[in-house]
Amino acid sequence: MTTTIPDSRERAIATLDSIQALRGLAAAYVVLYHSGLTLGTAQTPVLGWITANLIKRGHVGVDVFFVISGFIIAWVAVLARPQPETPLSFVIRRCCRLAPPYWTMSAIHALLLNPVTPAVFAASLAFLPTSTAHAPYYGYPALYVGWSLNYEMAFYGAFALGLWMAGRRALWVVLALFALFTLALPWWRFGAPVADPAQGYPFAWPWMAMASNPLVLEFVLGCLLAWAYAAWRHRLSRGVAWAILTVGTGWFLASLPLVGPDFSLAGRGLPAAALLAGAVAAEHTGVLRVPRALMWLGELSYALYLVHPTVIEGVKRLMPELTPDQYGLQLARFAIDAALALLLAMLLHRWVELPGIAAGRRWARRQG
């Protein structure tokens, strides 16, 4: 959600327009999912199937975000650089990129639509889970999509530790940390690891429950893809890229109706990783050219992800409840949701997100 290459120097390292496009499409899919768009009745089973198996699967956008985040962070912080990014620069840039827009929308959402206790609001601003139950969310923050940003910040923390301990070998530290939290500790404490993110582990501390959830391994999938891309991208041919893109896209699309659980490392994370692998391989070999509209949507993806809950909730409170057979009104409400969310995302991106990125860049440079 927060994987834009942060400055012109890093953008010169590698242009990954396909990833930017995937981020935009993933954000749009999450918006569609949260909009509550429901079509189809007994007389229109096809629309009912589309609703149940495609629209209601939009939460997979989060899996795509996590895999992309693992890829980009590994790529721009270590693999594509002559020297790895320093831990302090890494922390400053990522916090300034992630926090200001999230804090802004958390405050707006809490003030207008979702009052929360001071403790919950403080935990939201600190990117901390508040409960050991209801995996993999572990308590909703003031802005409910912030549960995924708690994972994002935990991954950043693990990567910063890796940079501090091992520099260019930071990925090994990240892999070791996630193996410790998701495999070794659960095995020692509970007898065996679990594969279902919705089950998790009953640790006493919320942050431990979150860090041990198998959902964090989607970041590892992204890191491993970045390593493979760095090692083997020069060997890719157009034919191989076409094959990877076809298999990855087909696997991802087939997983939408075929995989039952909302979250699944094998059923959701692996298809998302395959889709990403196909996209970057196709772009590298010239098979894929990304339209400017998708690049623009990708630029807005983080802001869109943050603003859409407020827009959707606000519109729902102003409009009457709709039934599935009211197709026109259902689609009209979704169009209003999408238009307002894009407008607010542009404002948040222009006046909060971009200044935060620029401030982080200046601050990191002053720190050497």
Is 343 part of any domain? yes
Indicate if the pLDDT at residue 214 is higher than 50. yes
Residues 142-171: tens digit of each pLDDT? 999 999 999 999 999 999 999 999 999 999
Is 229 part of any domain? yes
Residues 336-360: tens digit of each pLDDT? 999 999 999 999 999 999 999 999 9
Please report, to the nearest 10 degrees, the dihedral formed by the alpha carbons of residues 27, 332, 328, 31 taken in order.
10
Is 322 part of any domain? yes
Contacts of 278 (CB under 8 A, 6+ apart): 241, 244, 245, 246, 247, 248, 249
pLDDT at 5: 41
Is 3 part of any domain? no
Give the integer Cα–Cα distance in Å for 92 and 163. Answer: 13
Is 290 part of any domain? yes
Indicate if the pLDDT at residue 13 is higher than 80. no
The whole-angstrom distance between residue 172's C-alpha and the CA centroid of its chain comes to: 22
pLDDT at 41: 78
Is 93 part of any domain? yes
> Among candidates 348, 345, 320, 350, which has minimal Cα distance to 333?
320
Residues 244-282: tens digit of each pLDDT? 999 999 999 999 999 976 889 999 999 999 999 999 999
Domain with 70 in it? 8-366
Give the integer Cα–Cα distance in Å for 76 and 25. Answer: 22
Contacts of 128 (CB under 8 A, 6+ apart): 150, 206, 207
Count structural domains, the chain.
Answer: 1
Is 196 part of any domain? yes
Cα 24–111–147 angle (5° rounding)?
A: 45
Residues 71-126: tens digit of each pLDDT? 999 999 999 999 999 999 999 999 999 999 999 999 999 999 999 999 999 999 99
Is 163 part of any domain? yes
DSSP 134: S
